[in-house]
Amino acid sequence: MAEAEEIRDILRLQDELVRHRVVWDAEPWLELNMSTPQLKALLLISEEEGIRMRELARRLGGSFSNATVLVDRLVDRGLVERLADPEDRRVVLVRAAQEGRQLIGQLITSWRTLSSPLLETLAPEDLSKVHEALRVLLEAAQQNHRET
């Protein structure tokens, strides 16, 4: 199979897996009562000890004002908090509050709980293939992140 064709096939399979997980394993996501942009913002914020609002807006691919509205809603829910940048008090940083970190932890736990039975159905050699593929993808993602 040509490389471009194989990539298309991998992406198609990934799409099917994501659709399957979203449709049949949607309960943890539905319980959030949160929009997709809010969840994306919370995930980005939780990866940093404090992220500048302008950087958050850039990573979200939107305007500063849209990022501000998202953060306002997350602050209102007690999921994130604003603080002054210790290096420049004019700059506002945002970080995940304890409740926001707990929510992300609960999502990860839910994902693992839902994924574990699926992985347990795999034959040992298939499980090893999945393990290796995920390890390689994670390394590529980390390398890509360092380069951007």
One-letter amino acid for residue 122 of the chain:
L
Residue 17 pLDDT grade (very low, low, confident, very high; cuts 50, 70, 90): confident
Q: State pLDDT tens for residues 69-106.
A: 999 999 999 999 999 988 888 889 999 999 999 999 98
Statement: residue 28 has pLDDT above 80 = no
Statement: residue 121 has pLDDT above 80 = yes
* Domain coordinates in residue numbering, the chain: 32-147
CATH code reported for the domain at 32-147: 1.10.10.10
pTM, entire model:
0.77
The dihedral sign for the CA sequence 55, 56, 60, 65: negative
Residue 148: per-residue pLDDT: 67
Residue 32: per-residue pLDDT: 79
| Mean pLDDT of all residues in 123-140 | 96
Quote the CA–CA distance of 1 and 54 in Å, as a whole number: 43
- The answer to whether 82 touches 71, Cβ cutoff 8 Å, is yes
Tokens of 123: 């034959």
Give percent of the chain with pLDDT exceeding 70. 94
Q: Is 147 exposed, middle or buried (0-12, 13-18, 19+ CB in 10 A)?
A: exposed
Statement: residue 1 has pLDDT above 70 = no
Residue 146: per-residue pLDDT: 80
Give the rounded distance of the alpha carbon of 46 from its chain centre: 9
Residue 125 or 16, more confident: 125
Residue 77 backbone phi and psi in degrees, to 5: -90, 0
| Mean pLDDT of all residues in 102-117 | 88
Q: Return mean pLDDT, the chain.
A: 90
Statement: residue 23 has pLDDT above 70 = no
Burial 50-66 (b: 16+ CB within 10 A, else e): bbebeebbebbeeeeee
